[in-house]
Protein backbone atom coordinates (compact mmCIF):
# COMPACT_ATOMS: atom_id res chain seq x y z
CA UNK A 1 0.00 0.00 0.00
CA UNK A 2 1.10 3.55 -0.66
CA UNK A 3 1.96 5.42 2.49
CA UNK A 4 1.45 9.16 2.49
CA UNK A 5 3.26 10.43 5.51
CA UNK A 6 1.16 13.57 5.69
CA UNK A 7 -1.57 11.20 6.88
CA UNK A 8 0.49 9.89 9.79
CA UNK A 9 -1.32 10.86 12.98
CA UNK A 10 -1.11 9.95 16.65
CA UNK A 11 -4.27 10.09 18.78
CA UNK A 12 -4.02 10.00 22.58
CA UNK A 13 -6.40 7.32 23.87
CA UNK A 14 -5.47 7.19 27.56
CA UNK A 15 -3.84 9.84 29.71
CA UNK A 16 -3.98 11.43 33.15
CA UNK A 17 -5.71 14.40 31.56
CA UNK A 18 -9.21 13.75 30.34
CA UNK A 19 -10.71 15.27 27.26
CA UNK A 20 -14.04 16.69 26.18
CA UNK A 21 -17.27 14.71 26.15
CA UNK A 22 -16.49 12.26 28.90
CA UNK A 23 -13.10 11.09 27.65
CA UNK A 24 -11.89 9.53 30.85
CA UNK A 25 -8.73 10.58 32.59
CA UNK A 26 -6.83 7.87 34.42
CA UNK A 27 -3.19 7.43 35.39
CA UNK A 28 -1.42 5.80 32.46
CA UNK A 29 -0.84 6.20 28.77
CA UNK A 30 -1.94 4.80 25.42
CA UNK A 31 -2.02 6.24 21.93
CA UNK A 32 -2.99 5.13 18.45
CA UNK A 33 -0.75 5.52 15.40
CA UNK A 34 -2.58 5.64 12.08
CA UNK A 35 -1.43 6.31 8.53
CA UNK A 36 1.25 3.65 8.13
CA UNK A 37 0.89 0.18 6.62
CA UNK A 38 -0.03 -1.06 10.10
CA UNK A 39 -2.24 0.59 12.71
CA UNK A 40 -0.43 0.56 16.03
CA UNK A 41 -1.71 0.81 19.58
CA UNK A 42 1.19 2.01 21.71
CA UNK A 43 0.59 1.02 25.34
CA UNK A 44 -2.81 0.16 26.77
CA UNK A 45 -3.26 2.38 29.83
CA UNK A 46 -4.03 0.98 33.26
CA UNK A 47 -7.47 -0.56 32.69
CA UNK A 48 -9.48 -1.81 29.74
CA UNK A 49 -12.86 -0.16 30.57
CA UNK A 50 -11.24 3.29 30.29
CA UNK A 51 -9.21 2.29 27.23
CA UNK A 52 -12.14 0.74 25.37
CA UNK A 53 -14.55 3.45 26.52
CA UNK A 54 -12.29 6.20 25.21
CA UNK A 55 -11.80 4.29 21.95
CA UNK A 56 -15.55 4.03 21.48
CA UNK A 57 -16.07 7.74 22.14
CA UNK A 58 -13.26 8.59 19.71
CA UNK A 59 -14.66 6.30 17.02
CA UNK A 60 -11.63 4.00 17.10
CA UNK A 61 -12.46 0.42 16.11
CA UNK A 62 -10.33 -2.11 18.03
CA UNK A 63 -10.61 -4.39 14.97
CA UNK A 64 -8.61 -1.90 12.90
CA UNK A 65 -5.54 -2.35 15.10
CA UNK A 66 -2.79 -4.65 13.77
CA UNK A 67 -0.03 -4.21 16.32
CA UNK A 68 0.11 -3.54 20.05
CA UNK A 69 3.37 -2.27 21.53
CA UNK A 70 3.98 -2.36 25.27
CA UNK A 71 6.66 0.13 26.25
CA UNK A 72 7.44 -1.35 29.64
CA UNK A 73 5.98 -3.69 32.23
CA UNK A 74 4.35 -1.12 34.50
CA UNK A 75 0.65 -1.64 35.05
CA UNK A 76 -0.37 1.85 33.93
CA UNK A 77 0.85 0.85 30.42
CA UNK A 78 -0.09 -2.85 30.33
CA UNK A 79 -3.28 -2.98 32.41
CA UNK A 80 -5.65 -2.51 29.45
CA UNK A 81 -4.16 -5.31 27.33
CA UNK A 82 -6.18 -8.32 28.55
CA UNK A 83 -9.54 -6.58 28.16
CA UNK A 84 -8.50 -5.23 24.75
CA UNK A 85 -7.52 -8.73 23.54
CA UNK A 86 -10.88 -10.07 24.71
CA UNK A 87 -12.46 -7.68 22.18
CA UNK A 88 -9.85 -8.09 19.43
CA UNK A 89 -7.05 -10.66 19.50
CA UNK A 90 -5.98 -10.67 15.84
CA UNK A 91 -2.92 -8.59 16.67
CA UNK A 92 0.80 -8.95 17.16
CA UNK A 93 1.93 -7.80 20.60
CA UNK A 94 5.51 -6.55 20.88
CA UNK A 95 7.00 -6.58 24.35
CA UNK A 96 10.49 -6.80 25.78
CA UNK A 97 12.27 -10.02 26.63
CA UNK A 98 12.67 -8.68 30.15
CA UNK A 99 8.89 -8.60 30.77
CA UNK A 100 7.48 -10.94 33.42
CA UNK A 101 6.43 -14.13 31.60
CA UNK A 102 2.79 -13.88 32.64
CA UNK A 103 2.12 -10.80 30.49
CA UNK A 104 3.21 -12.58 27.30
CA UNK A 105 1.68 -15.93 28.17
CA UNK A 106 -1.63 -14.32 29.11
CA UNK A 107 -1.68 -12.46 25.76
CA UNK A 108 -0.98 -15.74 23.92
CA UNK A 109 -3.71 -17.50 25.86
CA UNK A 110 -6.10 -14.78 24.70
CA UNK A 111 -5.15 -15.54 21.08
CA UNK A 112 -2.59 -12.86 20.23
CA UNK A 113 0.75 -13.44 18.58
CA UNK A 114 3.49 -12.29 20.94
CA UNK A 115 6.95 -11.17 19.85
CA UNK A 116 9.60 -10.49 22.47
CA UNK A 117 12.27 -8.04 21.41
CA UNK A 118 15.43 -6.60 22.87
CA UNK A 119 17.09 -5.07 19.79
CA UNK A 120 15.75 -2.32 17.50
CA UNK A 121 12.91 -3.86 15.48
CA UNK A 122 10.98 -2.61 12.46
CA UNK A 123 7.19 -2.94 12.73
CA UNK A 124 6.48 -1.70 9.20
CA UNK A 125 7.78 1.02 6.93
CA UNK A 126 8.15 4.19 9.00
CA UNK A 127 7.73 2.51 12.42
CA UNK A 128 10.61 1.05 14.44
CA UNK A 129 11.12 0.12 18.08
CA UNK A 130 14.24 1.34 19.88
CA UNK A 131 14.79 -2.02 21.54
CA UNK A 132 15.35 -2.29 25.27
CA UNK A 133 16.86 0.64 27.12
CA UNK A 134 17.53 0.59 30.83
CA UNK A 135 16.37 3.26 33.24
CA UNK A 136 16.79 3.89 36.95
CA UNK A 137 16.29 0.84 39.17
CA UNK A 138 16.88 -1.35 36.12
CA UNK A 139 13.50 -0.65 34.55
CA UNK A 140 13.65 -1.68 30.88
CA UNK A 141 11.63 0.25 28.34
CA UNK A 142 11.28 0.61 24.59
CA UNK A 143 10.03 3.59 22.60
CA UNK A 144 8.38 3.83 19.20
CA UNK A 145 10.09 5.73 16.38
CA UNK A 146 8.10 7.11 13.45
CA UNK A 147 10.28 8.27 10.60
CA UNK A 148 10.17 9.88 7.20
CA UNK A 149 13.03 10.15 4.70
CA UNK A 150 14.39 13.14 6.55
CA UNK A 151 13.32 13.16 10.20
CA UNK A 152 11.79 11.18 13.04
CA UNK A 153 9.27 11.38 15.85
CA UNK A 154 9.62 9.56 19.18
CA UNK A 155 6.70 8.15 21.17
CA UNK A 156 7.53 7.26 24.77
CA UNK A 157 5.58 5.51 27.51
CA UNK A 158 7.21 6.69 30.74
CA UNK A 159 10.71 7.47 29.41
CA UNK A 160 12.33 5.74 32.41
CA UNK A 161 15.68 5.57 30.52
CA UNK A 162 15.54 9.38 30.21
CA UNK A 163 14.04 11.38 27.37
CA UNK A 164 17.47 12.69 26.30
CA UNK A 165 18.93 9.17 26.07
CA UNK A 166 15.89 8.04 24.11
CA UNK A 167 16.28 10.89 21.61
CA UNK A 168 19.95 9.94 21.18
CA UNK A 169 19.01 6.29 20.63
CA UNK A 170 16.33 7.33 18.16
CA UNK A 171 18.93 9.21 16.10
CA UNK A 172 21.21 6.15 16.07
CA UNK A 173 18.45 3.71 15.15
CA UNK A 174 16.77 5.78 12.43
CA UNK A 175 19.74 7.79 11.18
CA UNK A 176 17.36 10.77 11.29
CA UNK A 177 17.15 13.94 13.33
CA UNK A 178 14.39 13.79 15.93
CA UNK A 179 11.92 16.63 15.41
CA UNK A 180 8.89 15.52 17.46
CA UNK A 181 8.60 13.90 20.91
CA UNK A 182 5.30 12.63 22.32
CA UNK A 183 4.45 10.80 25.54
CA UNK A 184 5.37 10.50 29.17
CA UNK A 185 8.77 12.07 29.82
CA UNK A 186 8.91 11.14 33.52
CA UNK A 187 10.03 14.54 34.78
CA UNK A 188 7.47 14.85 37.59
CA UNK A 189 10.06 14.26 40.30
CA UNK A 190 12.75 16.47 38.72
CA UNK A 191 13.77 19.84 40.12
CA UNK A 192 13.00 23.00 38.17
CA UNK A 193 16.70 23.38 37.34
CA UNK A 194 16.90 19.83 36.05
CA UNK A 195 13.74 20.30 33.94
CA UNK A 196 15.07 23.53 32.45
CA UNK A 197 18.32 21.74 31.59
CA UNK A 198 16.44 18.93 29.85
CA UNK A 199 14.26 21.36 27.90
CA UNK A 200 17.22 23.40 26.69
CA UNK A 201 19.18 20.27 25.75
CA UNK A 202 16.20 19.13 23.65
CA UNK A 203 16.21 22.53 21.96
CA UNK A 204 19.94 22.17 21.28
CA UNK A 205 19.20 18.79 19.72
CA UNK A 206 16.70 20.64 17.50
CA UNK A 207 13.67 18.77 18.69
CA UNK A 208 11.06 21.10 17.25
CA UNK A 209 7.67 19.92 18.51
CA UNK A 210 6.92 18.63 21.99
CA UNK A 211 3.84 16.84 23.31
CA UNK A 212 4.48 16.01 26.98
CA UNK A 213 1.83 13.67 28.41
CA UNK A 214 1.22 11.32 31.34
CA UNK A 215 4.15 11.36 33.83
CA UNK A 216 5.85 14.45 32.40
CA UNK A 217 4.56 16.46 35.37
CA UNK A 218 2.79 19.81 35.58
CA UNK A 219 5.95 21.84 36.12
CA UNK A 220 7.74 20.27 33.15
CA UNK A 221 4.65 20.75 30.99
CA UNK A 222 4.69 24.44 31.92
CA UNK A 223 8.40 24.72 31.13
CA UNK A 224 7.88 23.06 27.74
CA UNK A 225 4.98 25.42 27.05
CA UNK A 226 7.15 28.44 27.96
CA UNK A 227 10.14 27.31 25.93
CA UNK A 228 8.38 25.95 22.85
CA UNK A 229 5.46 28.36 22.63
CA UNK A 230 3.23 27.25 19.73
CA UNK A 231 5.51 24.26 19.02
CA UNK A 232 4.24 22.87 22.34
CA UNK A 233 1.07 20.83 21.83
CA UNK A 234 -1.07 20.28 24.90
CA UNK A 235 -1.91 16.64 25.60
CA UNK A 236 -5.14 15.14 26.87
CA UNK A 237 -7.31 12.19 25.92
CA UNK A 238 -8.53 12.73 22.37
CA UNK A 239 -5.61 14.96 21.34
CA UNK A 240 -4.74 14.35 17.70
CA UNK A 241 -1.12 15.02 16.78
CA UNK A 242 -0.51 15.40 13.03
CA UNK A 243 2.94 13.84 13.19
CA UNK A 244 3.31 13.46 9.42
CA UNK A 245 2.60 17.15 8.87
CA UNK A 246 4.89 18.15 11.74
CA UNK A 247 7.73 16.08 10.27
CA UNK A 248 7.14 17.69 6.88
CA UNK A 249 7.21 21.18 8.44
CA UNK A 250 10.80 22.29 8.22
CA UNK A 251 10.89 24.78 11.09
CA UNK A 252 9.26 24.80 14.49
CA UNK A 253 8.70 28.54 14.18
CA UNK A 254 5.97 27.94 11.65
CA UNK A 255 2.40 27.63 12.79
CA UNK A 256 1.36 24.08 13.58
CA UNK A 257 -1.02 22.69 10.98
CA UNK A 258 -4.69 22.78 11.95
ZN1 LIG B 1 6.60 3.35 34.32
ZN1 LIG C 1 3.60 5.40 33.36
In DSSP notation, 150-182 reads SEEEEEESS-TT-HHHHHHHHHHHHSSEEEEEE
pLDDT value of position 20: 82
- Cα 60 to middle of ligand 2, angstroms: 22
pLDDT of residue 1: 45
Residue 124 lies in a domain: yes
Measure the CA–CA gap between 128 and 124, rounded to whole angstroms. Answer: 7
Q: What angle do CA 91, 25, 46 make, to 5 degrees?
A: 45
Q: Which ligand sits closest to the CA of 29?
A: 2
Q: How many residues does the chain have?
A: 258
Characterize the bridge pairing of strands 240-241 and 67-69.
unpaired
Q: Any idea which ligand is nearest the CA of 160?
A: 1
- Taking the centre of ligand 1 as the mean of its atom positions, its distance from the CA of residue 52, in whole angstroms, is 21
Q: How many domains does the chain have?
A: 1
CA 77 – ligand 2 centroid, Å: 6
pTM to 2 decimal places = 0.95
In the reported structure, the alpha carbon of residue 4 is separated from the centroid of ligand 1 by a whole-number distance in angstroms of 33
Residue at 258 is within a domain: no
Q: Is residue 46 part of a domain?
A: yes
If you compute the radius of gyration of the chain from its CA atoms, what whole number of angstroms results? Answer: 17
Q: Confirm whether 255 is domain-assigned.
A: no
Instruction: Check residue 19 and give its pLDDT.
Output: 84
27 alpha carbon – ligand 2 mean position (Å)? 7
Ligand 2 geometric centre to CA of 46 (Å): 9
CB 135 within 8 A of CB 128: no
201 part of a folded domain: yes
Domain interval for residue 74 = 5-247
**Average pLDDT along the chain, 258 residues, taken 10 residues at a time:** 75 93 93 97 98 97 98 98 98 98 97 98 97 94 95 97 98 97 96 98 97 96 97 96 90 53
> Which ligand is closest in space to the CA of residue 46?
2
Q: Which ligand is nearest to the CA of 135?
A: 1
In angstroms, the CA 55 to CA 51 distance is 6
Whichever domain contains 176, its CATH number is: 3.60.15.10
Beta-strand ranges (E) seen in the chain are: 9-14, 30-34, 40-42, 67-69, 92-96, 113-117, 121-124, 127-129, 133-134, 140-141, 144-147, 151-156, 177-184, 209-213, 240-241
> What pLDDT does 255 receive?
57
Amino acid sequence: MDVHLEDLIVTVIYDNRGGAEGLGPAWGFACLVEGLEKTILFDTGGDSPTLLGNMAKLGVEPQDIDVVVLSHAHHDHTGGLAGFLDVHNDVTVYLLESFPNDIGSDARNRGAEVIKVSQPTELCGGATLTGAMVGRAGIQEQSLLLSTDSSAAVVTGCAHPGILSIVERAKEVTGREVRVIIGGFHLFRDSDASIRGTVSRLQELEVRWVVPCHCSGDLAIQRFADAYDHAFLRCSVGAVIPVGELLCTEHGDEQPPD
